[in-house]
């Protein structure tokens, strides 16, 4: 009887020991699981914070760029004003408005070009998910040349038939086109990791447009300059700018053929 009680106690102690070992084992598993879950949550939170930071920095770049575009357009609009002396007299108001036509025309052309650049800038930054120094540099380069438009538009409006302000204006348009092409090419081809993984066929067509525009403006500028130098009559020298109409026509034909070719490839 005593021997039986001893065996029962010994068995009970063994069972208790096993239960304690199992409890310690499951407790360690639970602790390890909680630790891993906590680590994963912290890692996910860190990734979310990093993504939010990148989005915020990109938003700052867009807001800064929009501010530059808006200020440039505002500065050009300020140039459209009638001299106070003519406003006070009121006699030569119609004559003053006629004299403002070059300024208004320069504003319309510049506004259209800047609006086009801004729209493409909007489309470019809509693709981005990250940024780097190369993107910032190219964006600032574009904004730098955009900022020269009020100066060139003022020169055009006060040129009085001179061609030097026209060449300066055309040069700034050319530099803006170069800067936009470099920015676009950087996003589409050179650094695809900073943009979203989307279909870029439309953007590649726009990049092709910028390339054709760049070549056309360069060739057109050279032809205008040569024609300007060859025309002997000073009153007829302004006719050299007609090369721009030819460039617009050729550009339209090239882009129509490019679109038709792309549509044919997509159909196949």
Domain boundaries, the chain: 2-198, 199-268
What is the C-alpha to C-alpha distance for residues 261 and 265, in angstroms, rounded to an integer? 6
Three-state secondary structure call for residue 142: helix
What is the C-alpha to C-alpha distance for residues 263 and 254, in angstroms, rounded to an integer? 14
DSSP 163: S
Whether 124 has a pLDDT exceeding 80, the answer reads: yes
What is the C-alpha to C-alpha distance for residues 174 and 247, in angstroms, rounded to an integer? 14
**Which of 259, 243, 160 is CA-nearest to residue 209?**
259
Q: Of 106-110, 204-208, 244-248, which range is least confident?
A: 244-248
CB atoms within 10 A of CB 91: 9
Residue at token pair 């590649």: 204
pLDDT band for position 63 (50/70/90)?
very high
What phi and psi, each to the nearest 5 degrees, are found at residue 159?
-75, -30
pTM of the model: 0.74
Q: Of 69-78, 175-184, 236-245, which range is least confident?
A: 236-245
Say how many Å lie between the first and final Cα of the chain, rounded: 96
Q: Provide the pLDDT for residue 3.
A: 45
């Amino acid at each position: 009887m005593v021997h039986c009680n001893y065996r029962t106690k010994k068995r009970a102690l063994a069972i208790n020991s096993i239960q304690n070992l199992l409890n310690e084992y499951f407790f360690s598993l639970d602790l390890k699981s909680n630790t891993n879950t906590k680590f994963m949550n912290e890692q996910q939170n860190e990734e979310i914070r990093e993504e939010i930071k990148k989005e915020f920095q990109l938003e700052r770049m867009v807001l800064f760029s929009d501010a530059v575009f808006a200020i440039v357009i505002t500065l050009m609009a300020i140039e459209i004003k009638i001299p106070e002396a003519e406003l006070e007299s009121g006699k030569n108001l119609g004559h003053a408005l006629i004299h403002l036509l070059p300024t208004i025309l320069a504003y319309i052309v510049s506004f259209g070009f800047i609006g086009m650049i801004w729209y493409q800038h909007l489309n470019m930054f809509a693709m981005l998910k990250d940024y780097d120094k190369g993107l910032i540099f190219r964006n600032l380069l574009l904004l730098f040349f955009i900022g020269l438009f009020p100066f060139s538009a003022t020169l055009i409006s006060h040129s009085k038939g001179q061609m030097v302000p026209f060449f300066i204006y055309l040069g700034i348009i050319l530099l803006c086109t170069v800067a936009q092409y470099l920015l676009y090419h950087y996003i589409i081809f050179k650094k695809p990791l900073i943009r979203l993984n989307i279909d870029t066929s439309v953007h590649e067509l726009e990049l092709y447009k910028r390339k054709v525009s760049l070549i056309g403006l360069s060739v057109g500028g050279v032809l205008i300059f040569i024609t300007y130098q060859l025309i002997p009559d000073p009153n007829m020298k302004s006719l050299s700018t007609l090369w721009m109409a030819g460039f617009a026509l050729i550009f339209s034909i090239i882009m129509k053929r490019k679109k038709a070719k792309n549509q044919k490839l997509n159909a196949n």
